[in-house]
């Protein structure tokens, strides 16, 4: 019996989808869409972004989200980390310009700090670490839902001219391309829920393929506009270093801050993994709407952070799991008689 080969191999600590993204970037560098091809690619990217947010709306269970409101302190903590602490750290990183980050890379770095949290990886790492998985599901869902409104508003307020400001046209474009498809998906969810569940794997591939098209279009526009001469290998290394510090700070704040707020270990794990993540799936389509031709540099920091958070949190989740049982026994020993966990 032959063993089925997988790519990338299990021993390689690189997300396979990131390799596909990098391959798409390489294709855009070698064969950028231009002229009529660029018009077709941009129209297709606009359509798939709307379709992606339609699927997000159709998949989000309103009932499950409402059921999760009983953990409102946890969800507010995650939302605070995602849309308050992260943006404040992003604003503080302005001090890194121009010695560490170019103005263009800083725009992308700040945009990274405004993107909502992930759902899939937050749930996966919380589960591995033996944390509160239902809370991670709800926290990721709430963050994605809030991000549809908060991310564009924060980007318009904090990035200013980089996004063209919060004009009536930009508000209408965001509403039509992001919010309207999402609301339509929510309305049609009772009819489409069974279909989406039966074809979950296929639709997941559609999701990923759509995002590859968005990446190709964004990086093609960057190549045609000639903005990639602004990025050197040295600048990329400095960007990675700045993002490593950002991730380390957020992992530390979410873990110890949740402890100071009185959350138990399972909730602290959910807060750490949901509160330190940033969603590539949500951020890339948003960037294409907000930045237009400048989206390629804006999404580069997010793409790098996505891989960095996966490589860092995978071993961290296993570390948490190894220490879970002794910690649970210690928690039970400290509780007074008759006390039960939430």
**Residue 65: pLDDT band with limits 50, 70, 90:** low
**Residue 181: pLDDT band with limits 50, 70, 90:** confident
Q: What is the pLDDT of residue 333?
A: 53
Q: How far apart are CA 281 and CA 244, in angstroms?
A: 20
* Percentage of residues of the chain with pLDDT beyond 70: 79
Q: What is the pLDDT of residues 24-55, one digit of tens each?
A: 888 888 888 888 888 888 788 778 878 877 88
Q: How far apart are CA 48 and CA 292, in angstroms?
A: 15
Q: What is the pLDDT of residue 227?
A: 64
- Domain ranges, ordered by start, for the chain: 16-321
Give helix 295-322 / helix 324-334 axis angle, nearest 10°.
70
Q: What is the pLDDT of residue 256?
A: 97
Average pLDDT along the chain: 80
Residue with tokens 């600590």: 13
For residue 337, pLDDT beyond 50: no
Q: How far apart are CA 224 and CA 181, in angstroms?
A: 30
For residue 87, pLDDT beyond 90: yes
Q: What is the pLDDT of residues 322-331, one digit of tens each?
A: 877 665 555 5
Q: How far apart are CA 320 and CA 195, in angstroms?
A: 36
* DSSP class of 341: -
Q: What is the dihedral of CA 12, 13, 15, 21, to 10 degrees?
A: -80
For residue 6, pLDDT beyond 80: no
Over range 161-168, report the average pLDDT. 52
Q: What is the pLDDT of residue 230?
A: 67
Q: Which residue has the higher pLDDT, 244 or 44?
A: 244
For residue 164, pLDDT beyond 60: no
On whether the CB atoms of residues 178 and 148 are closer than 8 A, the answer is yes
| Of 122-136, 137-151, 162-176, 273-287, minimum mean pLDDT range | 162-176
Over range 208-216, report the average pLDDT. 79
For residue 10, pLDDT beyond 70: no
This prediction has a pTM of: 0.75
Over range 223-251, report the average pLDDT. 86
Over range 236-245, report the average pLDDT. 95
| Domain formed by 16-321, architecture | Up-down Bundle (1.20)
For residue 221, pLDDT beyond 80: no
On whether the CB atoms of residues 308 and 280 are closer than 8 A, the answer is no
Q: What is the pLDDT of residue 116?
A: 93
């Amino acid at each position: 019996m032959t063993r089925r080969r997988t790519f990338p191999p299990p021993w390689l600590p690189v997300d396979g989808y990131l390799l596909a993204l990098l391959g798409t970037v390489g294709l855009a560098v070698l064969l950028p869409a231009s002229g009529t091809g660029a018009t077709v690619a941009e129209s297709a990217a606009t359509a798939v972004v709307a379709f992606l947010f339609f699927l997000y709306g159709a998949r989000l269970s309103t009932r499950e989200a409402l059921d999760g409101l009983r953990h409102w302190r946890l969800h507010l903590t995650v939302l605070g980390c995602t849309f308050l602490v992260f943006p404040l750290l992003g604003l503080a990183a302005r001090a890194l310009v121009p010695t560490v980050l170019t103005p263009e890379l800083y725009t992308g770095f700040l945009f990274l700090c405004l993107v909502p949290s992930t759902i899939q990886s937050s749930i996966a790492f919380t589960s591995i670490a033996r944390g509160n998985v239902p809370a991670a599901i709800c926290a990721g869902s709430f963050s994605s839902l809030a991000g549809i409104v908060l991310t564009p508003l924060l980007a318009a307020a904090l990035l200013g001219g980089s996004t063209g400001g919060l004009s009536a046209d930009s508000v209408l474009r965001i509403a039509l391309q992001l919010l309207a498809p999402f609301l339509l998906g929510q309305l049609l969810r009772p009819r489409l829920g069974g279909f989406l569940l039966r074809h979950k794997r296929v639709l997941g591939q559609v999701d990923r393929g759509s995002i590859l098209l968005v990446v190709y279009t964004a990086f093609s526009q960057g190549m045609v506009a000639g903005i990639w001469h602004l990025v050197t290998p040295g600048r990329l290394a400095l960007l990675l270093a700045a993002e490593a510090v950002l991730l380390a700070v957020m992992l530390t704040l979410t873990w110890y801050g949740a402890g100071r707020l009185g959350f138990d270990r399972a909730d602290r794990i959910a807060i750490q993994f949901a509160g330190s993540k940033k969603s590539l799936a949500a951020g890339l389509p948003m960037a294409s709407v907000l930045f237009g031709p400048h989206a390629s540099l804006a999404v580069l920091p997010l793409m790098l952070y996505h891989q960095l958070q996966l490589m860092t949190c995978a071993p961290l989740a296993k570390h948490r799991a190894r220490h879970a049982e002794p910690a649970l026994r210690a928690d039970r020993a400290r509780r007074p008689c008759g006390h039960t966990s939430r």
